[in-house]
Amino acid sequence: MPARRSGPALFPMVLPRTMLLPVLDTCALLAEACYLVKHGRQHDKVTGLAGTGRANPYVAAHYQVSEGEVRALLWQQILPATRVVHLEIRDHLAPQTKHILRFDAHLEPRHRGDPDDAPTMALAEFLAPCVIITQDSVFSRFGLAVIDWIPAAQGLLRMAGLEAGAADALLLIDLAMNLLGAGIRVMADLVARHPMLSAAVLGSALWFCQRQGYLRGPDWCRRGERLWEIAEPMIEKSGAAMLEHQRIRASLIVVAPPAYPTHEQLAARHLARCGRRLTAAELRDALAVRGHHVSAAALKRAMTCHHAFVRAPGDLWTVGTALRRTL
């Protein structure tokens, strides 16, 4: 099991590549709860995925839970880390979901679907790109998931952790560059307003550095070599992490998004990944950065007419709701 992060990414959407979301099937949730009860473990894969900020777990609104200790552990630990999404009937007519809906006793077993699992498939297509975490063979029959879900969940957890670390690093680099740029702008403004004083200060600084030997060529070479010695392990570590990320992603079966997503799908996919509630105008601007130009009015209209979206005070929107015992 990869090392557990202590918190989510500072800004999960900073990376250009769309993050993969785990869509959890009922059987995988129950199997994880049973395993934790049997072995007395405190940490589970579902809350681990949620903790990265790059793999928020979602479930469709069609599951049931078991009794006793498993039920208690589900409600106390695992389910609070997930969000349930209520889909419309039209969402179950997505291309790959149609295969899951098709059940005919005259078909060969490998071609039979299972309507009970259609909501999970429909949710994966609604929020795609996604990885379905399941033990149900119907998904593997159609090449949409693997039955052995534990390695898939562990791989997704490790990949999400790598992405969260990269997102944090990129954000800190951007912050440092902004601070550097702000400092340069302040200095340029001072030079423009006080050219004689600035020239005197710069000359004094150069004279002092020359007297102290800070401007000698060999010293600069040694400093450059020292900086490279510090940076080289970090560069090698980043390269290894990138290769590991590519290897894990290539090993996962991903439910891909359609070429022409609807306004509902565009809104849901961004809200499910950004980690916060947005107004329709903020959502419009965020989608425009990614090449999707939709008006705020059209987005608000689409979200208002779909049960997957939840409107909060301040006209803020999110997708999915926290699980409650009343479900």
Please, what are the domains in the chain?
1-258 (no CATH), 263-322 (1.10.10)
List, edge to edge, every strand of the sheet that includes 58-60: 130-133, 21-24, 58-60, 83-85, 321-322
**Is residue 267 within 8 Å of residue 296, measured between CB atoms?**
no
Beta bridge partners, 59, equal 84
The pLDDT of residue 318 is 94
The pLDDT of residue 17 is 65
C-alpha 72/C-alpha 85 separation (Å) is 22
The pLDDT of residue 244 is 82
Q: Using 70 as the pLDDT threshold, list the residues of the chain that sit under it.
A: 1-17, 35, 37-45, 51-55, 62-77, 105, 109-110, 164-180, 183, 212-220, 223, 323-327
The pLDDT of residue 74 is 67
The pLDDT of residue 296 is 96
CA-to-CA separations, 241 to 152, 237, 246, 254, 260, in angstroms, rounded: 18, 6, 9, 20, 32
Give the three-class secondary structure for 320.
Answer: coil
Indicate yes or no: pTM above 0.75.
no
The pLDDT of residue 219 is 65
Identify the CA nearest to 82 among candidates 44, 116, 34: 44
The pLDDT of residue 245 is 79
C-alpha 105/C-alpha 33 separation (Å) is 33
The pLDDT of residue 2 is 42
Give 290's contacts (C-beta < 8 A, 6+ positions apart).
270
The pLDDT of residue 266 is 96
Residue-by-residue DSSP string for 134-179? ---HHHHHTTS--S-HHHHHHHHHHHHHHHHHHHHHHHHHHHHHHH
The pLDDT of residue 317 is 96
The pLDDT of residue 6 is 45
Identify the CA nearest to 136 among candidates 161, 163, 116, 154: 116
Give 312's contacts (C-beta < 8 A, 6+ positions apart).
277, 318
